[in-house]
Chains A and B, each alone.
Chain A
């Protein structure tokens, strides 16, 4: 096993605001290897986007307080100077954002935005080469007539095409790590599937590491090798995708999975929403951040869920699957409950 390309250790991100200090991410650790996909799941405000933006140093350095360590290909990113960060951005690590209409500049042609991304890391290349490269990438992501569409503005593209252009821009410098932040959220389902297929194909071709951030478990099931579940700025469950999706160990992950409509199995089963609201990041709950919404608090003796933060430790199935829960037998608790089948193909394999 080679060294992971991305190693995040004890990452903590805080933002001072007028209302107080926002604990956006707390003590987060994860790794991503070359050629593998990590899926980060969680509700809005769980810190999934904030943590991945830190990988590129995209936070406002004057206000954000970032501690811990982020190593990209062995290089420490936390505290790195702007000029060195720039060499990383778009070159080693590229990011694809959620809403491509907002994320592409409305005033510049798609092709020139792609060419710009290429030129900034290939200062010796001519404009012509950059344009050729842009056309090549547009072609690669399946834009028809790329030599013509290269001169279009983003608003002349359809939603799916814009996201493809976004992906083309992300991959134009052949990055070793691609972070896709909700890449399919703004798209309709058929286009979603195409974009996910495209991402998988490209990952295979470029052998890059991929982080896919989403709240859509279907996307995760399709894409991810490993899953990190985030809640209230912390990692609460981490493990191989199949394990986490079929044998979750954290009541929150259970809750997430139960709130997905089951289209493969029993269609009569009701959706079970997680009660309550996501925790405040200004004033996080004591103990386990999930305890106010958790149905199993009374199964843990000594009120520990309220008073003590559970560590992220290996669960009953072995060292690869970690959970942050006080329950002695986090698998047994759910034995009598039915989990919706999110990805039947995963079950068939096992």
Chain B
């Protein structure tokens, strides 16, 4: 078991290195002049080719990528000094560079935005699993009945609505038209500041993610459960004389959770990487919204940092899934 975890962790680290290298190279060889944004800022929109060249040299864009990448990675672990416009700033570990817009370390701002994104993602995922899995199990047990068919088809209709439209309509109805109390004024309030404000501000985002995600999770878990219920070992459990709820929730559900957990690993990673629509519509200052802004402002270090964060989130949530697997399925644990 321990060896398994170590193996997964090492593999995860290798993947992270490769991903960060690809992201680095993507921007290094990208079609933009990365120093242009900072040159414009520092010269109050009077960036001449000569000045641009100075910034390009300063930022190291004239060097080879294989000297700059180790420095970038090194900065993440040990921090480094970065010079912009002849002004050297200490960027502490984990250093993801300085924002070209305000010259502050990227990590400092990211740190501030992470709780918002985590709050949205965890709350949304919790809600859609809480709704989706039991609904899927219930539908599988009543497979072929009117209740099952109407649930499946109404969820199919719901999930074919584009998410941004669904979120916008939710916002429109609850915030603008109904001016719903408590949840009608979305936005992020740190939990430590006001727990009720935190819940109230995020509730609409959670409901949106939860309802939309649960349509998919109902489908996944229904399918997995239908399959599990037809397994021989479920029949064995029934033939032993076990009560129906034990047959369903102990023997069948545990097997059905494996494929659901797999999909959840990918979904949750994506959710953590930033739910741009959700953050934008419900006015939550998270990673997704930040990435969107940075792209508009050509603030390369932030774009790079958010891309890296997305990769790390995906890898970590897959690692989490691998560990969950080994809890669910002993064959994984021991092989």
Task: Please list the residues of chain A having a beta carbon within 8 angstroms of any beta carbon in chain B.
Answer: 56, 58, 82, 86-91, 94-95, 97, 99, 102-107, 109, 116-117, 120-121, 153, 155-156, 169
A107-B254, A107-B330 known; A169 vs B231 contact (CB < 8 Å): no
What class of interface size applies to chain B in its complex with A? 20 to 34
Q: Assess the A90–B233 pair: CB atoms within 8 A.
A: no
Nearest Cβ distance between residue A94 and chain B, in whole angstroms? Answer: 7
Chosen A-B contacts, 16 in total, with CB atoms closer than 8 Å, are A58-B239, A89-B239, A89-B240, A91-B241, A97-B239, A102-B232, A102-B233, A105-B236, A105-B251, A106-B255, A106-B331, A109-B330, A153-B330, A153-B331, A153-B334, A169-B236
Q: Assess the B233–A88 pair: CB atoms within 8 A.
A: no
Residue of B nearest to A153 (CB): B330
A74 to B121, CA, bound (A): 59
Nearest Cβ distance between residue B251 and chain A, in whole angstroms? Answer: 6
Residues on B with C-beta less than 8 A from A107 are 254-255, 328-330
Whether B238 is near chain A, meaning CB under 8 Å from some CB there, is yes
Nearest Cβ distance between residue B67 and chain A, in whole angstroms? Answer: 51
Whether B237 is near chain A, meaning CB under 8 Å from some CB there, is yes
A329 to B301, CA, bound (A): 96
Nearest Cβ distance between residue B306 and chain A, in whole angstroms? Answer: 39
Q: Assess the B240–A120 pair: CB atoms within 8 A.
A: yes
Whether B235 is near chain A, meaning CB under 8 Å from some CB there, is yes
A89 to B244, CA, bound (A): 12
Q: Assess the B239–A56 pair: CB atoms within 8 A.
A: yes
Q: Which of A95, A102, A105, A169 has the most CB of B within 10 A?
A: A105
Nearest Cβ distance between residue A257 and chain B, in whole angstroms? Answer: 30
The proximity string for B residues 308-333 relative to A, scoring 1 for CB distances below 8 Å and 0 otherwise, is 00000000000000000000111100
A316 to B254, CA, bound (A): 57
Q: Assess the B232–A97 pair: CB atoms within 8 A.
A: yes
Whether B85 is near chain A, meaning CB under 8 Å from some CB there, is no
Whether B242 is near chain A, meaning CB under 8 Å from some CB there, is yes
A90's partner among B231, B239, B328 (CB-CB below 8 A) is: B239
A341 to B331, CA, bound (A): 45
Q: Assess the A97–B235 pair: CB atoms within 8 A.
A: yes
Whether B296 is near chain A, meaning CB under 8 Å from some CB there, is no
Q: Assess the B232–A99 pair: CB atoms within 8 A.
A: yes
Residue of A nearest to B252 (CB): A105
Within 8 A of A (CB), among B227-275: 231-233, 235-244, 251, 254-255
Residues on A with C-beta less than 8 A from B231 are 102
A184 to B239, CA, bound (A): 19
Residues on A with C-beta less than 8 A from B244 are 82
Q: Assess the A103–B240 pair: CB atoms within 8 A.
A: no
A102-B233, A103-B232, A104-B233 known; A155 vs B239 contact (CB < 8 Å): no
Q: Assess the A103–B235 pair: CB atoms within 8 A.
A: yes
Q: Assess the B233–A103 pair: CB atoms within 8 A.
A: yes
Nearest Cβ distance between residue A95 and chain B, in whole angstroms? Answer: 5
Residues on B with C-beta less than 8 A from A94 are 239
Nearest Cβ distance between residue A181 and chain B, in whole angstroms? Answer: 10
Q: Assess the B241–A90 pair: CB atoms within 8 A.
A: yes
Nearest Cβ distance between residue A296 and chain B, in whole angstroms? Answer: 39
Q: Assess the A106–B329 pair: CB atoms within 8 A.
A: yes
